[in-house]
Amino acid sequence: MSKYYWWLLVAVFPVVALAQGLPGVVREGEYIQGTLGSIEQAAPAPAPGDSVYSVGAWPTYTPPLADGAGKDLVVGFCQVCHSTTYITMQPPLPAGAWDATVKKMINDFGAAIPEESARQITTYLQAHYAVGNRKQ
């Protein structure tokens, strides 16, 4: 009995489903896009004619860098390519990581920083943003 029931489901159900016009079924193996399983969301209520919508100015806050020797070089050379927020948002890095970062900016990204300035920038970053001496 179960063998015949299986054949009935396989052979007859698709024909019945097509004849009944199930939603989304065009013909076997083809479906209308967006009807089966879709969740439609109600349109937003229209705003009154005298309403005003504003999001305000885009936040442009950049935390200040710590004061110290080399800060002006960091601002002068680093801000050419990116905000100094990239420095202040880093977790405290080991001193060697700051050295590698400055070298990466010069060698990989082409930052035009003279050798003496690069040394002073590295010293500044290590003094203020390294593990153990990160100033808040």
- Supply the pLDDT for residue 118: 96
- CA-based R_g, the chain, Å: 32
Strands 25-27 and 30-31: antiparallel
Residues of the chain where predicted confidence (pLDDT) is lower than 50: none
Q: Please provide the CATH number assigned to the domain covering 71-129.
A: 1.10.760.10
CA distance 97 to 54: 43
CA dihedral 25→30→36→42, nearest 10 degrees, is -100
- Supply the pLDDT for residue 44: 75
CA distance 129 to 115: 21
- Supply the pLDDT for residue 129: 93
**Amino acid in the structure at residue 64:** P
- Supply the pLDDT for residue 36: 56
27: three-class secondary structure by DSSP: strand
- Supply the pLDDT for residue 119: 97
Residues spanned by CATH 1.10.760.10 within the chain? 71-129
Tokens of 80: 């050419």
Q: Let me know the angle formed at the C-alpha of 119 by 115 and 123, rounded to the nearest 5 degrees.
A: 170
Element (H, E) at 25: strand 25-27
Tokens of 132: 């153990």
- DSSP label of 130: B
pTM over 0.75: no
